[in-house]
Structure 1
Amino acid sequence: MRSLRTRLLIAFALLSGVTAAAVAGAMYVQARNVILEKAQESAVRQFTDRVASMTVPDAGVLSDRESNGVIIYRGRTLSGGLRPSDIPLELRAKAATGVVAWQRVVRDGNAGVLMGLRLSDLEFYGARGLQDEQESISQLALLAWVIGIGSLVLGGFLAWLAANSVLRPVRELDAAARRLGEGDLTTRVQVRGTDELAGVAQTFNTTAAALEKQVADARRFVADVSHELRTPLAAMTAVTDVLDEEAPHLTEHAGKAASLVSQGTRDLTRLVNDLMEVSRFDSGTATLAVEDVDVAEAITATLRARRWSDVVTAFEPVTTRLDPRRLDVVVANLVGNALKHGSAPVSVALRGEPGWVVVEVADRGPGLDPQVLPQVFDRFYKADTARTRSEGSGLGLAIAWENARLHNGTITAGNRPDGGAVFTLRLPSGGSR
């Protein structure tokens, strides 16, 4: 499908071409007819004057006066340079009526006009070439072509200017809409003039401002709620710690209830912490505390702290500058996701590439559905819609992705050729912003 720019250029070019062709063609035809008519009128007038001066059919005199003509007396040629066979029968028939007749002819590529008049038994015929007029007409045709082509080129240039003037604000709106869709809520477009496109730009800015305010209010609400929940959650955590200690001494049902309350409190605490972390990313207050880090040692510490001793590791010695706390969050989320939703063995590989530190977390599970891959890092997204009450909040991979982005890095998800999912973390080895 052609772009709007191409369609505008084609439409303008066709319009200018058709208009130029029509105008140039009409001018050419009109000028050609005028030239030929004047030439014919002049030739007929001269022919009539010559015939009027020939009162005596003297062959010698007639030959001198009309070398490009012929005089026929009762079917016999008296004088002239034309042959009777050169005169069309239609012209002779018209001349027989007693009026001056003429007919335009073309012989050997040369245009001319034949004239005839019959007076009593005498037939007078003359010829006049139109070479000069033909050259003038050829020049007119060339001029018409030049005007047509020039108009087409000019029309294309004007179409290009018009398309640019119309499409520039459209392109700006498209780019702004893309940035807005990618999360840049401060995006605005410049309003030029007072036409319809300016109205669309103004509407876009108004909508973007309203959306920015709504999102900011929503983020502030989440941050405030999360912050307010921390105090009661701290108290609940202290109570659940006591319940965990007393659970072995309680009855079966009471111990089970205490365990459920304790687990629910831990899940809620983790969710609140995740929400607060997400609100920091959204507000732009999340920062890095970079330092020189032995990446292999940092990943080992992450696995050891969570007692994931069955995770297979393959590390190369890599040292770079990054935020060790955020690296711990990323690795913990990726490995924890593999342990929950994949199959053993889960492996973590570390290697260095030119300009990058690469960490791969893989499992031997069923892998990721291709329909899941584009959404796997979305917030609150769970591949299994029936797993709505699982331990995960659906924020772990989103937080890992945000932490990688904060380091100017990336995380990608895919499937291993021999089965299982693989998540690849790439961080710049030259340091982070």
Structure 2
Amino acid sequence: MFRSDRGCAPIPLRSLRGRVVFAFASSASLVALILVATVFMIGRDYMESQRVRAVERGAEAHAELLGTLLDEPGATGATALGALSPPAGTVVLLRWNSEWFSSEPEFDADPAVVLPQGHGKRGPGPTERVTLDGRSYLRTGVALGEKGGVLYEFAPLAELEATLRMLRDVLVVCGLGAVAIGAALGVWASRHALKPLRQLAGIAARIAEGEHAIRLPRSRDRDLSTTVDAFNAMVDALQQRVERERRLVSDIGHELRTPLTTLTTGVAVLTRNTEELPERSRQALGLVNAELDHLRRLLEDLLALARAEAGIHRSDLEPLSLADLLTNTLAARAYDTALLHVEDDVVVQGRKIELERAVANLLENADRHGEGVVAVRVGKEGLRAVLTVDDAGPGVPQADRARVFERFATVRTGRHSTAGTGIGLALVAETVAAHRGSIACLERPGGGARFVVWLPAAASATGFAP
């Protein structure tokens, strides 16, 4: 059996539904085991006691009849025993005048073998089970008055044993049926008991995808209403916090636009007259110009990220050929289109402007931090389109490959990091997530970093499976 990573608990018991089903099945098994064992023991004891009493009564009746027959003149043990009509399979032994007589010639009548030790001294002894020639018998004995005779009867137990076996099999089948019913009830109960959790998980997933206005419906169940109200209150607080952060970023961006535009205009005027400035002033102007360009790009990225998080889009969803989109993006930014390798032209349903910006950010990241783009590929894996961008840099350490998609993330490697805004890859990740895709930073075979984007492929060139 497969085992979990923690301890030795079976994998199915790691799920709540599995534990509920296991609890129902275990309870049903325990109850069934107790009932089966109890009913079988009670039934066995009852049937055996009834069989013992029947055999004893039959032996007493035969002993009384033999006593009458043996009192007749000229009677012998063989003739008296032959007058009996015992039940089928029953063997009768008679000791009379120190001789032994048997109703079955093939039956071993050796007292040392078939009778209890000391039977001649202490009387016939109690009724008990014996095994002779591989068959079970119930042996009982009755003394024949004061003449010293003893009658032994060996009643077969084959029919009783067959009845007990049938009873055992029926009880086992009933027990297994009870366990199956208990497991089925466990499945039914777990399905209904976990339905609110599945609904909660679905709502949480939709909220994580950006549907912040959705809430759990009110429940009439008093046990669930508290959880529903707490969850909805948490989502309300989360939405309010997100909205405040979005407004803050948007307000800061808009407030910075005016002074930034003024500074950019002033620096542009000074730049046109750099020949009139001293050398040190020209150097200072160059630094100011570079920082203004960095600040402008940072502001644009922040505003784009705020729009993406707020669900504000600059274009509509439409079927897009990734090969065409990459070709146009490479050409528009003066990249060699020979870098593009189309393994499979895949159509996706996306927003053209946002996807072009995401691809441009990946290309810019490779140039700024990875010593240039080596290759751009597009292909298909199952129902997903795959886009990869390879660079020639030193790569990204394993521990930082998830962190590079965070805002303002810094990675202490040999990759150049002074020219970026720290927002580009975060904006790429947000755009990919908005298109229900995923992104990962991997190691390129041969060295360097490889950024891989997976997007849902459209059902056809003209439609999309949402």
Match of 1:20 in 2: 32
Match of 1:103 in 2: 128
Deviations 1:361-397 (A, max 9, x none): 5443223333333343333223238999833221123
Residue 232 in structure 1 maps to residue 259 in structure 2:
yes
Residue 143 in structure 1 maps to residue 170 in structure 2:
yes
Question: For the Cα contact (< 8 Å) 1:113–1:128, is it kept in 2?
Answer: yes
Question: What amino acid is the match of 2:161?
Answer: Q
Match of 2:46 in 1: 34
Distance in 2 (CA, whole Å) between partners of 1:349 and 1:127 is 95
Distance in 2 (CA, whole Å) between partners of 1:130 and 1:28 is 17
Question: For the Cα contact (< 8 Å) 1:13–1:152, is it kept in 2?
Answer: yes
Residue 70 in structure 1 maps to residue 89 in structure 2:
no
Question: What amino acid is the match of 1:69?
Answer: V
RMSD: 4.3
Match of 2:366 in 1: 338
Residue 204 in structure 1 maps to residue 231 in structure 2:
yes
Question: For the Cα contact (< 8 Å) 2:314–2:354, is it kept in 1?
Answer: no
Q: How does 1:391-402 map to 2 (within 5 A)?
A: 391-402=419-430
Question: Gaps (5+ residues) in structure 2?
Answer: 5-10
Match of 2:179 in 1: 152
Q: Which stretch has the larger CA shift, 153-162 or 352-361?
A: 352-361
Distance in 2 (CA, whole Å) between partners of 1:69 and 1:257 is 129
Distance in 2 (CA, whole Å) between partners of 1:425 and 1:234 is 35
Question: For the Cα contact (< 8 Å) 1:313–1:347, is it kept in 2?
Answer: no
Distance in 2 (CA, whole Å) between partners of 1:376 and 1:326 is 20
Q: How does 1:114-263 map to 2 (within 5 A)?
A: 114-118=139-143, 119-120=145-146, 121-181=148-208, 183-186=210-213, 188-189=215-216, 194=221, 199-263=226-290
Question: What amino acid is the match of 1:112?
Answer: Y
Question: Gaps (5+ residues) in structure 1?
Answer: 304-310
CA change 1:182–1:71 in 2 (3 A) is same
Deviations 1:87-110 (A, max 9, x none): 767646467545773222233554
Match of 2:8 in 1: none
CA change 1:26–1:153 in 2 (3 A) is same
Match of 1:306 in 2: none
How far is 1:223 from its partner? Answer: 1.1
Distance in 2 (CA, whole Å) between partners of 1:366 and 1:253 is 36
Distance in 1 (CA, whole Å) between partners of 2:406 and 2:27 is 50
Question: For the Cα contact (< 8 Å) 1:380–1:393, is it kept in 2?
Answer: yes
Distance in 1 (CA, whole Å) between partners of 2:438 and 2:152 is 97
Question: For the Cα contact (< 8 Å) 1:66–1:126, is it kept in 2?
Answer: no
SS in 2 for 1:125: strand
Q: Which stretch has the larger CA shift, 327-336 or 109-118?
A: 327-336
How far is 1:281 from its partner? Answer: 0.9
Question: What amino acid is the match of 2:425?
Answer: L
Match of 1:301 in 2: 332
Q: How does 1:308-327 map to 2 (within 5 A)?
A: 312-314=336-338, 326=354
Distance in 1 (CA, whole Å) between partners of 2:19 and 2:155 is 53
Residue 113 in structure 1 maps to residue 138 in structure 2:
yes
Question: What amino acid is the match of 2:332?
Answer: A
Distance in 1 (CA, whole Å) between partners of 2:253 and 2:51 is 99
Q: TM-score, normalised by structure 1?
A: 0.78
Question: For the Cα contact (< 8 Å) 1:299–1:328, is it kept in 2?
Answer: no
How far is 1:193 from its partner? Answer: 5.4
CA change 1:229–1:33 in 2 (3 A) is same
Match of 1:9 in 2: 21
CA change 1:210–1:297 in 2 (3 A) is closer
Question: What amino acid is the match of 1:20?
Answer: A
Distance in 1 (CA, whole Å) between partners of 2:208 and 2:270 is 47
Residue 274 in structure 1 maps to residue 290 in structure 2:
no
Question: For the Cα contact (< 8 Å) 2:325–2:356, is it kept in 1?
Answer: no
Match of 1:420 in 2: 448
CA change 1:326–1:200 in 2 (3 A) is closer
Q: TM-score, normalised by structure 2?
A: 0.73
Match of 2:7 in 1: none
SS in 2 for 1:70: strand
Question: For the Cα contact (< 8 Å) 2:361–2:424, is it kept in 1?
Answer: yes
Distance in 2 (CA, whole Å) between partners of 1:62 and 1:432 is 100
Query: How many aligned positions are there?
Result: 425
Residue 390 in structure 1 maps to residue 414 in structure 2:
no
Question: For the Cα contact (< 8 Å) 1:322–1:432, is it kept in 2?
Answer: no
Distance in 2 (CA, whole Å) between partners of 1:112 and 1:69 is 12
